A = this chain, B = another copy of it.
């Protein structure tokens, strides 16, 4: 059972067998469900959680997939859902949105972060949510504290998005739209094609850690520029080699 504000996506999801029934409204999709996953931007996630006590079926459990977790967990506790909610965040997806960006193997092998509300019942729900993700994606759920998650993701996900966007903005300001980019320039800017409204929400919901991470990368860029300006070949090689070692380490 699914709902999307885009009717075209609902029709496509039905046709392809991703859902077996379409609802007329978000509540219509969720009302009789034993397990509800909210897959909407952060502000809509918070809003739907706040109203969930009014629509969530008795005994049903609720989860989400938002890229920030501390505000989500706080909202769930405030809404009295400590025993019925666990947050999740699958590290998957692309810059694409809607059903067109869906793939059968989207979650295969993905790391999925799971946050408990901290109560014994919440811990049980978190285990159920982890089992769901193991089933959906043969994926690897990792239990994590919500605040630790947000600081970590500021660096591993929100920062790369911010850097890709800033790079694209500076290329756009240089009026380079008509010229050719090789595979490197394309990959490095790919995230800039992501939904601006979604990412504005994520950056604001995780503003402190994201701003700090951006400052650190800005400092590294300053350092690189100084090495180039000083024609410091040895320093430059050492700087680049640090990045090479780090990036190769991700694939090990």
Instruction: List, in ascending order, chain B residues with CB within 8 A of A218's CB.
Output: 218, 221-222, 225
Instruction: Determine whether A193 belongs to the interface, using a CB cutoff of 8 Å to chain B.
Output: yes
Chain A interface size band reads: 35 or more
- Interface contact A179-B152, CB-CB below 8 Å: yes
- For window 167-198 of A, CB contacts with B under 8 Å fall at 167-174, 176-177, 179-197
Query: Copy number of this protein in the oligomer?
Result: 2
Name the residue on B nearest A186 (C-beta).
B250
Q: A172–B236 contact, CB under 8 A?
A: no
Segment at the B interface, from A57-65, A90-98, A126-134: A90-98
A to B CB contacts below 8 Å, 16 in the list: A156-B179, A159-B171, A160-B188, A163-B167, A164-B243, A166-B221, A168-B242, A169-B223, A169-B246, A172-B246, A184-B191, A187-B191, A190-B247, A192-B243, A192-B246, A204-B228
Nearest first, the 5 A-B pairs at minimum CB distance are A168-B243, A196-B240, A91-B182, A172-B246, A160-B188
User: Chain A: residues with CB nearer than 8 A to chain B?
Assistant: 91-95, 110-111, 142, 152, 155-157, 159-174, 176-177, 179-197, 199-200, 203-204, 207, 210-211, 213-225, 228-229, 231, 233, 236-251
